[in-house]
Amino acid sequence: MLTGNRSSKTFKPKKNIPEGSHQYELLKHAEATLGSGNLRMAVMLPDGEDLNEWIAVNTVDFFNQINMLYGTITDFCSEGSCPVMSAGPKYEYHWADGTNIKKPIKCSAPKYIDYLMTWVQDQLDDETLFPSKIGVPFRKNFMSVAKTILKRLFRVYAHIYHQHFDAVIQLQEEAHLNTSFKHFIFFVQEFNLIDRKELAPLQELIEKLTTKDR
């Protein structure tokens, strides 16, 4: 018998937004509007807020969500079960980060996701990229880095859906996964953050999840 252990198990340490900070208030606003059940409204930029800051807060939140979701199924994602990082038979991902690994390497899904989540964590921990203090300006390349982070986080959703959905059902996590992914998709659609071709591995699911809310 498998039991969900969502509360305690994350793949990487959770990235916390400091309480009392403006970003913490923004996160609370996001959580409150999410509670209303209207995801299209929940992802919209709140009046008078800075777009970069809104994208930064939500990017941290999505990292934490995916971290938790993948943490629940790590026992099912091994070198043996997932020798390549794939999202169905047509899509395979090779890892490169442009600095430590410049030439894309073929590796197992757990290795790829470890590289990916460590890389995202390094970006989120970089105060020059994700400033936590009010009034510290965002770097000019912030938006392109945020887009790369979200594009890569999408691949973890795609891998979970294609290769591990049976485990998700066994753990009774499918509602949690679907809600998280739907929120993610509405967010990236609202601000046009991921190219359509990158979303192709889950296109049918995206259409199914989003048509009901048009």
Residues in CB range of 28: below 8 A, 6 or more apart: none
**Among candidates 53, 39, 49, which has minimal Cα distance to 185?**
39
Task: Give the Cα-Cα-Cα angle 76, 78, 82 (nearest 5 degrees).
Answer: 95
Distance CA 174, CA 157 (A): 12
Spatial contact of 83 and 108, defined as CB atoms under 8 Å apart: yes
Q: Report whether 147 contacts 123 (CB < 8 A).
A: no
164 is known to lie in a ligand binding site:
yes
Cβ density class 195-209: b for 16+ within 10 Å, e for less: eeebbebbeebbeeb
Q: Residue 85 forms beta bridges with which residues?
A: 93
Alpha helices, DSSP H only, in the chain? Answer: 22-35, 39-42, 51-73, 109-125, 142-170, 174-190, 203-211
Is 159 labelled a binding residue?
A: yes
Q: Which residues belong to the annotated binding site? A: 77, 82, 159, 164
Annotated binding site for Zn(2+): 77, 82, 159, 164
